[in-house]
Amino acid sequence: MALKATVHKAELQISDMDRHYYQTHQLTLAQHPSETRDRLMIRVLCFAMYAHADLQFGRGLSTDDEPDLWRKSLTGEIELWVDLGQPDESRVRKACGRASEVVVVGYSGRGFPVWLDKNAALLRRFSNLTVWELEDGLAQALGELNQRGMQLQCLIQDGELQLIGEDGSSVNVRPIIHQRAKAG
pLDDT of residue 62: 58
Tens digits of per-residue pLDDT, 22-44?
999 999 998 888 889 999 999 99
Q: Count of CB atoms within 10 A of residue 73's CB? A: 10
184 pLDDT band, cuts 50/70/90, is: low
Query: What's the rounded Cα separation, in Å, for the pair 24 and 153?
Result: 9
Provide the pLDDT for residue 109. 78
Which amino acid is located at 2 in the chain?
A: A
6-179 fold: Restriction endonuclease-like alpha-beta roll fold (3.10.640)
> 92: which residues sit within 8 A by CB, 6+ positions away?
83, 102, 104, 119, 122, 123, 126, 129
User: Which one-letter DSSP state was computed for residue 138?
Assistant: H
Query: Which residues make beta-bridge pairs with 151?
Result: 11
Check: CB of residue 14 under 8 Å from CB of residue 21.
yes
* 3-state SS assignment for residue 73: coil
State pLDDT tens for residues 104-121.
999 987 899 999 999 999
Distance (Å, rounded) from C-alpha 100 to C-alpha 115? 23
CB atoms within 10 A of CB 165: 16
1 pLDDT above the threshold of 60: no
Q: Which pTM was predicted?
A: 0.93
- 10: pLDDT confidence band, cut at 50, 70 and 90? very high
